[in-house]
Structures are given as C-alpha cells and as structure tokens.
Amino acid sequence: MLDRYNNAQLYKIDSFSGITIYNLKTEKFKTNTINIFFHDNLTRENASRNALLPAVLRRGCSRFPTFRDISLYLEELYGATFDCGVTKKGEMQIIQFYIDYVSDRYTGENSRLFEKAFDLLFEIITSPVLENGVFKNDYVEQEKDNLRKLIESRVNDKMQYSVEKCLEEMCKDEPFGIYDYGSVEELKKIDAKGLYDYYVTFLQTLPISVYITGNVEESMIDNVIKKLSNIKRGNIKETNTGEVVKEVAEVRNITETMPVNQSKLSLGFRTNISSSDEDYYALVVYNGILGGGIHSKLFQNVREKESMAYYAFSRLEKFKGLMVISSGILKENKDKAIRIIEEQLESMRRGNISEYEFDSTLKTIETGMKSLMDSQLQIVDFYLSQSIVNTNDDFNSFIEKIKKVTKDDVIRVANKIKLDTIYFLTGTEA
C-alpha cells in the first residue's frame, strides 16, 4: 500500500511457519529500523514471563555475552540503538525487539550495517547466554528484581495508574484485566530453568511479525528470510484480541485510597465497537469531540467553565472497544464532576455538537496522525495494529475515512456507548 502522506510503501515480503515479514520502504529518515514482534494471548501465568524474557535476553548473547559488549558493538555500528519490551493490544501481549541504525546510504557501500544490525538482533533473540544449559541465574534474578520494582512503581504516576486500574477493574474477569507486565506474585514463581524452558516454547510457537523500514535491497531481505527459516518452529499458537461486545448489567463503583493530594476520577465505558467495524472511524471522532483536546466538551465544560478538574480527557482502547474518561478533581467534587460528565455524554447522544467542536476534532485527529509519521516506531506500530485487526488502512486512507464521518454517524455511536465502571482514587481520611 502506498501512503502519500509520508511517502512510504508497505510490502508483505513473505510468510512461513507463523513468521510474516514486511518491508516499509521510505527514504524520509536517515536511519532504518528492524522490528521483530512476538504475539501471545494474555494470561496470568505467561504475562510476567513474557515481560521478563526480553529483559533477560537483552543482557547478552553468545557473541556478546554482556550488555556492555552489546553497547560497545552498537557504537561500532555508528551508534545504533537496540531495545526491547512488552505491551498489550486488546487481549494480546506483544513482545518487541528492535534496532535503529544509520542507513547504508550514508555510510558507504561496504559498511553492511543492515546485515550487522539484523545479525545482532537475531543473535540476541536466538542465541542467549546460557549457564549449565539454562539462562544465567544472575541475569534472571537481577531482571526479576528490576521487573518487580517496575510493577510496584506503577502507582507513582497516579493519573496513568487510575486509568489503567479503571480498565483492569472493568475487565477483571477477562484477559484484558491483566497488567502488561504481569504480577509480583507470578514473578516470584519464575526461576532460570523454568524461564529457559518457556523460552524454547516461546521461540517455537508464537506468531512473529518482522518489519523492516527504510530503503533496503531485496537481496538483503532474502538473507533475512533464510536466517528466520532456520528457527525451529512447531505448532503455531492461535491468537486473538478478545471479545468487544458485552452487555453492562450494573454500573460498578470502586474506590481506592492512598496518599494523594488530588483525587483521580475515571469512568470506564463499553463502546461495543471493534477497530475493524465501519463505525470505528465515527468512534474516533466521537472521542475527539468528547475529550480529545482543548476544544472538547470535557475540557471546556468540566475544566474551564466549572473549574472542576485539573485535567479532563477521554481515551479509547481500540482493540478491546473500551473508552475511559479521566479527570483530576478535589475529593468533595466527585458527585458534581460525574453529573457534569454525564451531561456531556447526554449532549452527544442528542447531537448537540457545534461546527467548531466537529471541525476542530477532525483537524486535531489529522494533525495527530501526521505527527506519528515523524517516528519510525510509531509508523511501524500503526501498521502492526492494522495487521492485528485485519484492516488495510494506511495513514492516507485512515484520514480520508475520518473526514467522511458525519454528525449523524457520531450520534449513532454515542447511543451505543454504555457506562460500566466508576473508579475513584482518593486520599486517606485524616
């Protein structure tokens, strides 16, 4: 697909043994990237293992057994950068390994940076440092401690924590309710042998997506295919992003207390619209009008007019069909804030949408989409998301579909959205 907005073209190069390879051709950037994604279903047992595994693998490989060795080699590759991590998209956990390196166009014909960069990434994934036939115990224990601290520190960002907890409480009986990085309880159960045994299965059975960005010669990609073909693969796991449609029997109210000066109010909604539905584009516009910027109803009415909130916004979780409204308020203003928020929702259902709100939203979405094109990682994430939900949008087609949304479309979507959970994070009593 050709994307005229960022002058890029995405090609599906090959697919075999659960491995799919894409080439995103572009000359916009002076660096190229190689991204390798492993796809898994979110489970309580595997979430912590999937989060821990890349952290252990990045510590070293057979050719470069320490992270210092890897760092020194990256410097030799003109300061290439390598990293890895996990995220969740719907009820899938995505484990990512990537390297960003200077395009061969700028380093001479014999630099072979693409080949060296891919080889390093491939070796980190497939040739880890071992001790007595399993992962090095020191590496595993150190990274377990780092991951434990990361999980425990999520409460430090109270705004993000309240949004995540609202969504997790909404879906506490669904896989989506599992935190991206798993739990401390499951982490404690992991040892070096168990993690290595899991790694073998991980490498053999999880679907893999490879995205190569930049202007890379076909002969080089042929070498990538050959190397990936050498990975021992078994029965490939079936993955899915989870169910979107769910009836709300009763709105749940949850209050959590901890030492905070500013209370956090989050309202979680079921949109009953998946990202592959035609109504998804109208949902994006709906969210923009409701709480997607300074022009939005939440910002103007909750924050500005009533001076009720330090911040107020709405956000979509596209893969699971969820929406959350979040605001920072004084504890005593909770009921009034909920009432004003509900008034904005009812206003949307009745079609009380000004031309300013509608036009500003379309412009904000288009500007936001174009800003994503300044980052290769964001571009790759956009196309990865398209492949996960089996849609064929590029940046151009997505923006054009947004522009075709009408006010009637937004009203139709507004009447599908149902409040599920009210989550309130507030201070402890004096």
Give residue 109's pLDDT: 64
**What are the tens digits of pLDDT across the range 226-266?**
999 999 999 999 998 888 888 888 999 999 999 988 999 99
Helices 355-372/395-403 angle, 10° precision = 180
Q: Which residues of 121-151 are buried (b: 16+ CB within 10 A; e: fewer)?
A: bbbbbbebbeeeebbbeebbeebbeebbeeb
Distance in angstroms (rounded) separating the CA atoms of residues 174 and 44: 11
Distance in angstroms (rounded) separating the CA atoms of residues 86 and 179: 11
Go through the domains of the chain in sequence order and give each one's CATH number.
Answer: 2-229 (3.30.830.10), 252-426 (3.30.830.10)
Give residue 111's pLDDT: 80
Helices 113-126/218-229 angle, 10° precision = 10
Residues pairing with 426 in the sheet = 257
**pLDDT surpasses 90 at 305:** no
- Dihedral pair phi/psi, residue 113, rounded to 5°: -65, -35
Q: How far out from the chain centre does Cα 299 lie?
A: 25
The answer to whether 314 and 325 have CB atoms below 8 angstroms apart is yes
The answer to whether 198 and 49 have CB atoms below 8 angstroms apart is yes
Give residue 430's pLDDT: 41
**pLDDT-based confidence at residue 87 (cuts at 50, 70, 90):** very high
For the beta sheet containing 19-25, the strands, ordered from the edge strand earlier in sequence to the opposite edge, are 2-3, 8-16, 19-25, 208-213, 31-41, 92-102, 81-89
| Global pTM value | 0.94
Give residue 5's pLDDT: 46
Q: Which residue has the higher pLDDT, 427 or 202?
A: 202
Distance in angstroms (rounded) separating the CA atoms of residues 177 and 370: 31
The answer to whether 151 and 190 have CB atoms below 8 angstroms apart is no
Comparing 37-46, 178-187, 242-251, the range with the smallest average pLDDT is 242-251
Please compute the mean of the pLDDT values over residues 178-186 and round it to a whole number: 97
**What are the tens digits of pLDDT across the range 194-212?**
999 999 999 999 999 999 9
Distance in angstroms (rounded) separating the CA atoms of residues 163 and 306: 22
Distance in angstroms (rounded) separating the CA atoms of residues 430 and 428: 6
For residue 175, give the nearest of 82, 220, 242 by alpha carbon. 242
Give residue 414's pLDDT: 97
- Dihedral pair phi/psi, residue 317, rounded to 5°: -110, 95
Rg from Cα positions in the chain: 23
Question: Which H or E run contains 413?
Answer: helix 407-414
Distance in angstroms (rounded) separating the CA atoms of residues 373 and 28: 10
- Mean pLDDT of all residues in the chain? 93
**What are the tens digits of pLDDT across the range 123-175?**
999 999 999 999 999 999 999 999 999 999 999 999 999 999 999 999 999 99
**What are the tens digits of pLDDT across the range 90-132?**
999 999 999 999 988 888 767 889 999 999 999 999 999 999 9
Please compute the mean of the pLDDT values over residues 424-428 and round it to a whole number: 90
**pLDDT-based confidence at residue 191 (cuts at 50, 70, 90):** very high
Distance in angstroms (rounded) separating the CA atoms of residues 308 and 143: 42
The answer to whether 121 and 99 have CB atoms below 8 angstroms apart is yes
The answer to whether 86 and 51 have CB atoms below 8 angstroms apart is yes
**pLDDT-based confidence at residue 429 (cuts at 50, 70, 90):** low
Q: Which residue has the higher pLDDT, 361 or 215?
A: 361
**What are the tens digits of pLDDT across the range 315-374?**
999 999 999 999 999 999 999 999 999 999 999 999 999 999 999 999 999 999 999 999
Phi-psi region of 272 (alpha: psi -120 to 50; beta: other; left: phi over 0): left
